[in-house]
Each structure stands twice: as structure tokens, then as C-alpha cells.
Amino acid sequence: MVPVSALSAPAPSSIAPAAQGKRVFNYSAGPGQMPEEVLRQIQEDVWNCRNSGVGILEHSHRAPVFDRILAEAVQDCRDVGNIPSNYHVLFMTGGSTGQNFMVPMNLLPSNRTGSADYYNTGYWANQSIEHARPFGTIHECASSKGDNYAYIPRPEQVRHSNAPAYVHYTSNNTIFGTQFHTIPTPPNGVPLVCDMCSDIFSRPFDVTRFGLIYASAQKNLGPAGVTLVIVRDDLVQKGNRDIPLMLQYRTFATGESRPNTPPVFCIYAMGLMFKWIKKMGGTAYFERFNAEKTRIVYDVLDRSSFYKPHARADSRSFMNITFRCPTPQLDDLFATEASRQGLDCLKGHRAAGGIRASFYNAMPKAGAETLAQFMKEFERTKG
Amino acid sequence: MVPVSALSAPAPSSIAPAAQGKRVFNYSAGPGQMPEEVLRQIQEDVWNCRNSGVGILEHSHRAPVFDRILAEAVQDCRDVGNIPSNYHVLFMTGGSTGQNFMVPMNLLPSNRTGSADYYNTGYWANQSIEHARPFGTIHECASSKGDNYAYIPRPEQVRHSNAPAYVHYTSNNTIFGTQFHTIPTPPNGVPLVCDMCSDIFSRPFDVTRFGLIYASAQKNLGPAGVTLVIVRDDLVQKGNRDIPLMLQYRTFATGESRPNTPPVFCIYAMGLMFKWIKKMGGTAYFERFNAEKTRIVYDVLDRSSFYKPHARADSRSFMNITFRCPTPQLDDLFATEASRQGLDCLKGHRAAGGIRASFYNAMPKAGAETLAQFMKEFERTKG
């Protein structure tokens, strides 16, 4: 077993030995690994946050300590994403799946006569389509379903419908290991909506190309339980008013993400992640870092006749690497053997099978090197 | 300042001195104070949960560690509440305010021709009514609004409508400091729905009297970010099907509270709270304990001509005590002065003014004694 703690920065001396247990590499597609220095900060703040004498789990969402935490989280998010003031930064609950129905519920006409265009590029993209169907006509403007979602459609393969209310896509497909490497261009004036759940802030992107971006936290932004929504003000204003108040974006925009008690701890933790991203060098740093990490593993795949990658080379994700051993039995053996050696959660999603290794921002380079080493050794002995 | 850590059980030796910062008494109405032994457990598990090598914030919601945590949370909840198998125990998000629209959305006919009866006994009860109005005819079967919500209506004051789909009440009113001390009896066969957010598991109650109970965590059940829903199976089955999947109770019942990624950490923390309640002696213990704690403060109120309690004696809450000083200026001075001495968050809600002190399960007896002492001293010097 390779404990991560032996490979990264030493833990602060303020934490007791009993809390220094050995940690493993966690390749889970989400919830996923977090930076150890963020975990150390959380351990302290659970007891006493910002010298208030009250732990972060116990702070009122209307008290001054959380006022500051919330304001900093919004500002740090704006800094990381270079988000202009005509966009709201909202913290909501319900996950990306919650947004799957909230987007059409808010942005399609309530009488269900409207339409929207969706890219069908994976399991979750397909789920977004299914959750949107009850609200209007959903047009698949491009799909790679026929090839088991092994690629991202090229611009010339996209066919838009007539006057869609918005165009929706999923920027990274965790299950099949594909990722958009350019931002799609919707028809003129049509807002672009993105489920950026699994690659937000893993690389720079131009927010002004989007009308609305949503991302649940549990990949690059901390623990599950809060969903980041970045939405342009005109879409908030245009949103339907004949739906429950708590399902309107304007309620969260007006109420500073706390029209009722928000998930205080999860917002706090996401705020720490924004600060960590800034400190490490921002999204530009992570773009290089994630490419560097995943190249180590992709190189093993490309030199192997044993492993078969799922994604086409031009559509490969820098977040999730997917591949297969020669047989499903060997896939199982791979995951089991790896887990025994401290490489956890490598089994592929049930919808795709095979192996999946996730390399979100917080995964250290040693996580890629250790996996590459394991893959070579496994191929040598089982190939 | 009176540090709580000096008054309760000594902290485990496994936590470092730097995490031993002084803590204050936190009388917040929620999020509120948590038991220190639970905080200590969380500190450890954030680094490495159940010897998995992965922290609780990073665990996949589909991995074996969380499978066990979730199963234990459900079972421990059933044990604490004596909940029979024809009730589902669900963990959702969106808070009690989210349930305010989900209950009528699921249980009133979709064509808006139905009706439901609501008790109007406080600010949040009134909010529940407002969120329900778009879904049908809402009848206030009893109200104490005219007396600024100073009491709980007696059974003979209740007037039910003809064939309501359900009867809704709020068992404890945090802002005005009143509490139902008996469970209302709805018309024969009509399901009783309760917002038990602020007093759940603070005393025993017969679950079988209810059709549906909801409670966001942040008073007696841990950090904000998860909502407990206890719902009888026939209501789940009867719920509307022409609403978004993620707003149907059956989706959460079928999907074991994880149709999508749930708030893993918040469910884990609520599970720890259930275990703590069981260990302390269950709801019967807390009924005695909370009565004992609040009596210390109510006794000061009853012997004072300086302080004026808001709630009528027969409707007093064992969770939240509300009162006023002779002037609003003295209320402010009281809260400020108390805060300086380590008695935090005593300012009343903006809708009620005055002073509010919350005594959820996790508040130690010393929290009542210290407040009582402070009140007497304040009256002596300012009265």
C-alpha cells in the first residue's frame, strides 16, 4: 500500500498522531479525493471556526462568521472563473440531477410549447435529456450514442433545431471518459447551458460564452451536498414565475443563496477549494497539471496491446480515463488487486464496465505514477 | 467566557492541542450546537473513515463504506423513533422549505382542485401555508396569529374543512417559542403531516399517528444540508406521477435516498447523531433532560418582573425560550453583553425581536445554568 500522506506535503504538526492514519489513492469518479491541506483545515474548523468558539457545522447561516465565509466563497469563485458581475454565483442543493429539471422548468415556456437542443454524449447527458422531456420538445442536436459514447461530435455533425430556447451539453463524460476540448457554438443569441459537474475549474474557460453553468461539488469542488450555479442575470430575470418559489433561480439570486438554511458546511468547504485552486495557480495551473498526470496513464495505454482504451484519442478526458482489460474477469481482478495495494475505486461504472481512473484537480501526480506502475506490472504478469 | 470544553466530558487524547480551542455556548436556533464527542469523531473521519484510507468527505456514495453508513443511519433512525417497516426513512435535500412545496405537490391532486388543512401557529407554519397555496385550497384550521403566535390552539379551537387531503402542523415554533405538547387528531383517516424540524427526537412520539414527518437536520440532527423525511408507504405510492422525478418521494424511496449523489457527509453526520441519541438514552432521556434544562431558565423568567416571556405558560417550548427585556435597547444590550461573556446567538429572530435561547438536545445543562446566572446578574445591574 502506498499511503498518500507519505508522498505529499507533511501534515501540519497541529494534528494529532491518531488522526494521521494511512490514506490510499482514491480514483473514484465522485465523490472523489480532496487536497489533504483542505482536510486539515476542515478538521480544525469543525471544532472552532475562525476563532469564533463555534465549529463550522454549528454556525448559523445568518451570523457574521458565515456572512464572511459566503461572501469570500462568491468572490473566490469569481476570481477562479473570471466571472463578470452580470453573472450570479449561486449555491444550491439537489445536485446536477436537480438542475436537469430546474433548467427546463425555468427556461422553457410553462405551457410546454418550447424546445431545447441537447448534445447526447454520455450517460449523464442522456439523463439530462430524459429529465427535460416533460417540459417541452427536446431535440438531440448531436449524439455519439451509436458508438457507445466513445467520442465528442465534431461541429459539422451538429444539427440545431429551429429557435431552441437554449443549447445544453455536458462538458466531460465521466463514465465514458470523453471531454469537450472546445466550447460548442450555439445558434446566434441562443444561450448555452453546460453541465460542468465533472471538469469545472480543471482548466480555463470563457464564462461569457455561457448562459448558465451548473456543477455539483463532489468532483473538483469538495464534498457532495452543494451545487454551484453560475447564471447570467437576464436568464434569471426571464425565468418562469409560475413554478414553486424554491425552484426559481431568482429566489436564490435575491436571497444570496440562502432563502432558507443553506448547506453551510458544504458551501464553506467549496470556498476552501476555491482558495486552494487560487493558491496552486488557478485553472491555468490545473490545465497543465491534469494533462501531465493523465498523459502518464494514457502513455501506458498507447504502448499496450493488453489494455483497450474506450475513448477515441481526440476526445479523451483529462479527468476520467476509461479502458478495459482483455476480459471482464481480468477487469475485476485488476480492480481487486489494485485495491489491495491502496489504489481504490478503479472499477468502471455499471453502464460502461471496464476500468475507470479519475484524475480531478486534487489527485497528486504520484497517483498517476503509481497507477501506471501498477498497470505495467499487471500486464506483465497477466498479459 | 465560559468554555464549554471545561464543563463537559474531556476531549479524547487523540486530538491535538491546537484543535482544543475554547468553545462558547451557542444558543442559535439552528444551525445549532452539536455534541462535542460527535465533533471529535467527525474530525477523525474527515481524514480516514472506518480505516478505509479515505475520508468521509471523499467517499463514493456507491462504495461499501457508505453502503454501511447509510444502512446504519436508517436503522439507527428507526431505533430512535421506533419507526415501523411500513414507513420509509429518507434523506433528502432542500430543507424544510423544500418540503413545504413537495408535500402539496405530491399529495394534492395535480389539477389543483384539492384542499388541505394547516395549523397557523408561527412564522414557519405560515410559510408552509404560503408555499402550499399554489397547489390547491389551503384552509387554516386553527391560528394563533391574532395573538402574535403566543400560544398553541386547543383542540376545541380547531375547525377542519370538508375532506382535506391532509392536515399539516409545525410541532415547535422556534421564533415564538411555543410547542405542541399533544399530537393533533385529524379527521378520521386523514393523514397528519408534521414539520418536526425543530423538535424531532427531543422527546418520544408515536410515529404511527403520522402520514409524513419532515425535519431538516440543523437543530437536533447535525449540520444543515440534509432533510429527514419519514413517510408512510401508502402516501409514497399515492403521490403524483406527473411531476419531476426528483420531486417524487417514490424516487427517493426506490433509490434508497441516493437516486443521484446524496449529501454523503451530512447523512453520515446525521447517522452519528442518531447513535449519540441512542447512547445517551434515547428520546425518553432527552424529554427529561430538555425539560430540566429549560426549567432552569423558565424559573428565572417566572420570578422576574424585568423579563417578559413571549409564550403562554401552557404552550412553552422545551427547545426555544423567548422573552423580552423592558426595552428593545436592553434586549440589544443583553445579547451583546452575553456574547462578550461566551453566550452566543441570543438575539431573537427579526420577526419577533427580543431574546431567544435554544436548548436542543446537544446543549449541556451548564448552558442553562450559565444563562440563568447571566440573566439574574443582568436584571440585578440593569433592572
Q: Report pLDDT digits (tens) over B224-235.
A: 999 999 999 999
Per-residue model confidence (pLDDT) at position A21: 66
Decide if A19 and B20 are in contact by the 8 Å CB cutoff. no
CATH fold, domain B25-36+282-382, is Aspartate Aminotransferase, domain 1 (3.90.1150)
Report the CATH number of the A64-279 domain: 3.40.640.10
Q: Categorize the per-residue pLDDT at B21 as very low, low, confident or very high, splitting at 50, 70 and 90.
A: low
3-state helix, strand and coil shares in percent for chain A, rounded to the nearest 5: 40, 15, 45
Decide if B244 and A44 are in contact by the 8 Å CB cutoff. no
What share of chain A in percent tops pLDDT 70? 95
Contacts of A64 in chain B (CB under 8 A): none
Q: Which of these CATH numbers, 3.40.640.10, 3.30.70.260, 3.40.1260.10, 3.90.1150.10, describes A281-382? A: 3.90.1150.10
Coil, strand or helix at B138: strand
In the block, residue with C-alpha cell 445591574 = B381
The Cα of B123 is separated from the nearest Cα of chain A by a number of Å equal to 13
B276 is catalytic: no
Closest CA to B73 of B361, B227, B211, B269: B269
Q: Categorize the per-residue pLDDT at B351 as very low, low, confident or very high, splitting at 50, 70 and 90.
A: confident
- Is residue B12 scored above 70 in pLDDT? no
* CATH 3.90.1150.10 residue window(s) in chain A: 281-382
Out of B18, B22, B226, the one facing A14 most closely (by C-beta) is B18
A293 is catalytic: no
Exactly one of B76, B124, B331, B347 is catalytic; name it: B124
Contacts of B34 in chain A (CB under 8 A): 55, 57-58
The Cα of A259 is separated from the nearest Cα of chain B by a number of Å equal to 9
* CATH 3.40.640.10 residue window(s) in chain A: 64-279
pLDDT tens digit sequence for A312-324: 999 999 999 999 9
Contacts of A342 in chain B (CB under 8 A): 53
The Cα of B303 is separated from the nearest Cα of chain A by a number of Å equal to 31
Residue B17, by phi and psi: left (phi above 0), alpha (psi -120 to 50) or beta? alpha
The Cα of A303 is separated from the nearest Cα of chain B by a number of Å equal to 31
Concatenating the DSSP letter of every residue in A295-336 gives HHHHHHHHT-SS-EESS-GGGB-SSEEEEE-SSHHHHHHHHH
Coil, strand or helix at A118: strand
Copy the grid coordinates of residue B339: 456574547
Contacts of A265 in chain B (CB under 8 A): 223-225, 265-266
Out of A46, A98, A223, the one facing B39 most closely (by C-beta) is A46
User: Which amino acid makes up residue B305?
Assistant: S
Q: Categorize the per-residue pLDDT at A329 as very low, low, confident or very high, splitting at 50, 70 and 90.
A: very high
Q: Categorize the per-residue pLDDT at A20 as very low, low, confident or very high, splitting at 50, 70 and 90.
A: low
A219 is catalytic: yes
pLDDT tens digit sequence for B173-183: 999 999 999 99
User: What is this structure's pTM?
Assistant: 0.95
Q: What is the mean pLDDT of residues A305-310?
A: 97
Name, in order, each residue with C-beta under 8 angstroms of B47's C-beta and a sequence gap of 6 or more.
A15, A19, A20, A21, A23, A39, A43, B55
pLDDT tens digit sequence for A222-262: 999 999 999 999 999 999 999 999 999 999 999 999 999 99
pLDDT tens digit sequence for A29-87: 999 999 999 999 999 999 999 999 999 999 999 999 999 999 999 999 999 999 999 99
- Is residue A3 scored above 90 in pLDDT? no
d(CA A176, CA A147): 11
Per-residue model confidence (pLDDT) at position A182: 98
Higher pLDDT pick, B134 / A352: B134
Average per-residue pLDDT for chain A:
94
User: Which amino acid makes up residue A341?
Assistant: Q
Out of A24, A29, A246, the one facing B53 most closely (by C-beta) is A24
Decide if B225 and A100 are in contact by the 8 Å CB cutoff. no
Please give the residue of chain B at the shortest CA–CA distance from A28: B60
Q: Categorize the per-residue pLDDT at B303 as very low, low, confident or very high, splitting at 50, 70 and 90.
A: very high
What share of chain A in percent tops pLDDT 90? 93
Report the CATH number of the B56-279 domain: 3.40.640.10
Contact between residue B275 and residue B76 where contact means Cβ atoms under 8 Å apart: yes
The Cα of B305 is separated from the nearest Cα of chain A by a number of Å equal to 31
Decide if B39 and A20 are in contact by the 8 Å CB cutoff. no
Per-residue model confidence (pLDDT) at position A295: 98
Per-residue model confidence (pLDDT) at position B336: 97
Contacts of A226 in chain B (CB under 8 A): 225
Exactly one of B76, B117, B195, B199 is catalytic; name it: B195
Higher pLDDT pick, A274 / A16: A274
Per-residue model confidence (pLDDT) at position B136: 98
Contact between residue B2 and residue B347 where contact means Cβ atoms under 8 Å apart: no
Q: What is the mean pLDDT of residues B64-76?
A: 97
pLDDT tens digit sequence for B257-288: 999 999 999 999 999 999 999 999 999 999 99
Q: Categorize the per-residue pLDDT at B15 as very low, low, confident or very high, splitting at 50, 70 and 90.
A: very low
Closest CA to B177 of B148, B201, B157: B148
Contact between residue A259 and residue A207 where contact means Cβ atoms under 8 Å apart: no
Please give the residue of chain B at the shortest CA–CA distance from A65: B345
Out of A28, A32, A344, the one facing B53 most closely (by C-beta) is A344
Out of A29, A31, A261, the one facing B95 most closely (by C-beta) is A261
How many residues does the structure list for chain A? 383
A316 bridge partner residues: A178
Per-residue model confidence (pLDDT) at position B109: 97
What ipTM was estimated for this complex?
0.94
Contacts of A97 in chain B (CB under 8 A): 246, 259-261
Name, in order, each residue with C-beta under 8 angstroms of B274's C-beta and a sequence gap of 6 or more.
B73, B76, B77, B79, B80, B221
Q: What is the mean pLDDT of residues B1-14?
A: 36
* CATH 3.90.1150.10 residue window(s) in chain B: 25-36+282-382
The sign of the CA dihedral B15, B16, B19, B24 is positive
Please give the residue of chain A at the shortest CA–CA distance from B29: A60
Per-residue model confidence (pLDDT) at position A351: 87
The Cα of B3 is separated from the nearest Cα of chain A by a number of Å equal to 8
